[in-house]
Amino acid sequence: MRVSTPFQRTSDRHLERFILSAVATLIVAATATQSGAVEPPRPHVVIVMIDALRPDHLGAWGKPELRTPHLDRVAEQGVFFRNIFAPMPSSAPSRATILTGRAPHTHGVRINGRNLPLAELTLTELLADNGYTTVSTGRLQRQFDQGFEHVNIGGGELADSLAGVMWDSLKYGDAEDGHVSTDVAPDVRAAIKWMATHGHDEAPTFLWLDMTHNLHEAWRPPPPYDTMFDADYTGRDVSVNPMYSPDLTEREVQHAHALYDGQASFVDSQFGWFTKALTELGLSERTILVVVSDHGTYLGEHDLWQKCPVMFDPVMRSTLIVRQNGVVPAGVQIENLAQLSDVFATILDLAGRPVPDRAAGSSHSLRSTWESKTSVRPAVFMEFCQYKGTASKAIRSEDWLYVYFESVGEIPWGEISPADVLRAKGWPRRLLFDVKADPDLTVNLVDRHPEVERQLRIQLLDWLIASENDLDSR
């Protein structure tokens, strides 16, 4: 079969899509005939991980001026969580929490670069034991690949095959629709190829799509995204800034936001290739699609940037969107508090699997938040495990944020240390904020409300005791 080019006639593209649809239908029909099954096939599970994506920088948050149409569309087709929080402002600990349903100090990945203990039971292993083909697009940190049958899929060009036709049809359609078109990252291309080749297999797929293009610094989106939100800027480079940068002007902060939003639009366009492929392949209705970020990032709030270990909402609030046709309602936005550990139980619930005992107290299915509008937890717990002399724990309820620093390190992170930040801001080691009356977290009330602090500190202690690890870490 000859693979078409983006310059062929529209009729050729429609013919290819017709062929693609027909082939997919024949595959499904043949599978049903051979097995005698009358029930629909089990759903695929796809996790799309986008590093440092803040939910309040999506159009779905209520900001139509932001250009994230593909992520917004998925949010309109599913449930968008506005208050889900990371366990740590670090990538590896948060990813390990999603895979195990347990807190960083429990599963042992307390800092980036730490391996996941083999004794941990992962979401991947549970789904593999239930007949899922488990696939990752990227190179996972050591022992994060527990249960994955295929790791780091992709590489090379698409073959002259069903997948090749799929790929070219998508590219041509994008150009015809007038969308901004750029080269597509190998991880997205590999995910599309996998679903085109295996999406109608009898065995469902669990796909971990860790986006190569994401919102981690430095924010240097390619044209035209680099000038999409601020074309007139001529100042210094603000694509990556020191952890504490009080010297940035208002105009420079504005441009940094524009670069971040341009990068978000670029990432959205990459994500759009994949969702288009699911639609074209007829797989959207068979797929549990989970879009998640491992944490947020500071964008100048309190003069902070990157991931300063002060656990305020900008860096701790994550993105979570869940879509499953016929199971998850469309267009629902959830205000209830949740944690990234709850992604573990939610996926198992949607896939019809129980939560293992070791995660039952720390991971809760979020199904009740959209079915009965009930909360799964009154507060979320966050931590920064010991790193370069800094260690802290935090609890956030609907009313309060309490941050307790056991230690604050003097070791510089680049130009400045966490201790320098606390001194510069005049923050003590105990911080208490009324998040309803003071959502920007500007007034520390710890000395005014000693009883509130005491109660929150007790809750932190209870959480630490209840979540102690009872597993052999070898």
Q: pLDDT (tens digit, 9 = 90+) per residue, 432-454? A: 999 999 999 999 999 999 999 99
Q: Is residue 342 part of a domain?
A: yes
Q: Give yes or no for a contact between 266 and 222, defined as CB atoms under 8 angstroms apart.
A: yes
Residue 30 clears pLDDT 90, i.e. is over it: no
Predicted TM-score (pTM) of this structure: 0.88
Q: Are strands 400-407 and 430-434 parallel, antiparallel or unpaired?
A: antiparallel
Amino acid (one-letter) located at 461: L
What average pLDDT score do residues 230-235 get? 96
pLDDT at 94: 96
Q: Is residue 108 part of a domain?
A: yes
CA distances, 382 to each of 110, 236, 297 (Å):
12, 35, 15
CATH of the domain at 256: 3.40.720.10
Residue 176 clears pLDDT 70, i.e. is over it: no
Residue 173 clears pLDDT 70, i.e. is over it: no
pLDDT at 168: 55
Q: Is residue 410 part of a domain?
A: no
Q: Is residue 164 part of a domain?
A: yes
pLDDT at 1: 32
User: How wide is the angle at C-alpha 152 spanned by C-alphas 194 and 190, nearest 5°?
Assistant: 30
Residue 186 clears pLDDT 90, i.e. is over it: no
- Looking at the chain, the whole-number percentage of residues with pLDDT higher than 90 is 77
Q: Give yes or no for a contact between 16 and 182, defined as CB atoms under 8 angstroms apart.
A: no
Q: How confident is the model at residue 252 (pLDDT cuts 50, 70, 90)?
A: very high
Count of Cβ atoms closer than 10 Å to residue 255 Cβ: 22
Q: Are strands 390-397 and 400-407 parallel, antiparallel or unpaired?
A: antiparallel
Q: Is residue 437 part of a domain?
A: no
Closest CA to 55 of 98, 85, 94: 85
Q: Is residue 92 part of a domain?
A: yes
Closest CA to 19 of 168, 154, 156: 168
State how many domains the chain has.
Answer: 1
Residue 80 clears pLDDT 70, i.e. is over it: yes
What average pLDDT score do residues 360-386 get? 96
Cβ neighbours for 208, distance < 8 A, ≥ 6 positions apart? 47, 49, 124, 135, 136, 137, 138, 140, 148
Write the burial class of residue 419 (CB in 10 Å: 0-12 exposed, 13-18 middle, 19+ buried).
Answer: middle
Whether residue 391 has a cis bond before it, omega within 30° of 0: no
Residue 474 clears pLDDT 90, i.e. is over it: no
Residue 177 clears pLDDT 80, i.e. is over it: no
Q: Assign residue 147 a region: left if phi > 0, alpha if psi is -120 to 50, beta otherwise?
A: left
Count of Cβ atoms closer than 10 Å to residue 425 Cβ: 15
Range of the domain at 190: 10-377
Q: Is residue 425 part of a domain?
A: no
Q: Is residue 215 part of a domain?
A: yes
